[in-house]
Each structure stands twice: as structure tokens, then as C-alpha cells.
Amino acid sequence: MNPATDRFMTAAIIEAKTGHDEGGIPIGAVLVRDGKIIGSGHNRRIQENDPIIHAEIDCLRNAGRIGSYKDTTLYSTLMPCYLCAGAVVQFGIRRVVVGESRNFAGAKEFLISMGVEVTDLDLDECADMMAEFIKNNPELWNEDIGEL
């Protein structure tokens, strides 16, 4: 594991691998408050036949109603798309840490324009995991990002 990978990104990577092992897209996310994971999830679009269950959405659902999200940080193995970035902004999450954005640029500029602090760790482990999935499953990937 890259030394830049902290325990929260490690937990998101484990979620991504779980999703992949279930036959889904390897993207994972965790929501952190006060140094503790309060929600985690992974992309379950394929497993649940539901186009909305991206990793970040699954994570937020699993965190449940927590009142204010302003003191939370969302970790995701991949830069969030506009759907997930919209949820970040809607709930007032102020910080997002991502594993990589090489395979998908996502909505980084939107997040920043809305006052969200975005940190891209640019981890080879996350980039390699996504690149391998995209290479082996181009149609599923293009469906996931709305480019079919």
C-alpha cells in the first residue's frame, strides 16, 4: 500500500474490492466524522440493477440520517461524478478525498466551485484497479458514466 494511503482510503479500497468481488464496478467510499467511519459503501448498480447506487450514494445511505454533514469527509476511490458531487454539495460535505482521477476526471471543478476541498491522492492501486475493470468491461463502464 502506498504510504500516502491512510486508513480511511484503505477502507474505501476494501469497499471497492468487495464491489468487484460481487460482480460490480470497483468503486468504494467511506464517510468520516471525528476520526471514525460512520458510513461505507460501494458501487452496487449491477448487483441491484439500480442506476443510482454509486459508491458515494451507497455510503451516504448506509450512514443514515446524521443531521449536519458539515464536519464530515467523504473518501472515494474515484473522483465523484456529477450525481455524487451533487449529493456532496446538497448535504454540505466540505471535504472529499479521492484515490484517483486518471481514469475519470469526474466533477472536480464543480466541487471546487461549490467550496468543497478536494484532495486527489493519485494512488496507483486505485488507478490500476479501475483501469483493469474498464479494459475488461468497457460497456459496463460506459453505462456507469452515462456514455453508452
CB atoms closer than 10 angstroms to residue 88: 25
Under a CB-based contact definition with an 8 Å cutoff, are residues 56 and 29 in contact? yes
User: Catalytic residue at 56?
Assistant: yes
d(CA 133, CA 138): 8
**C-alpha span between 9 and 75 (Å, rounded):** 6
Q: How many Å from the N-terminal Cα to the C-terminal Cα in the chain?
A: 34
- Among candidate residues 15, 56, 100, 125, the one labeled active-site is 56
Tell me the C-alpha distance between 44 and 120, whole Å. Answer: 23
Q: Residue type for 44, please?
A: R
Tell me the catalytic residues: 56
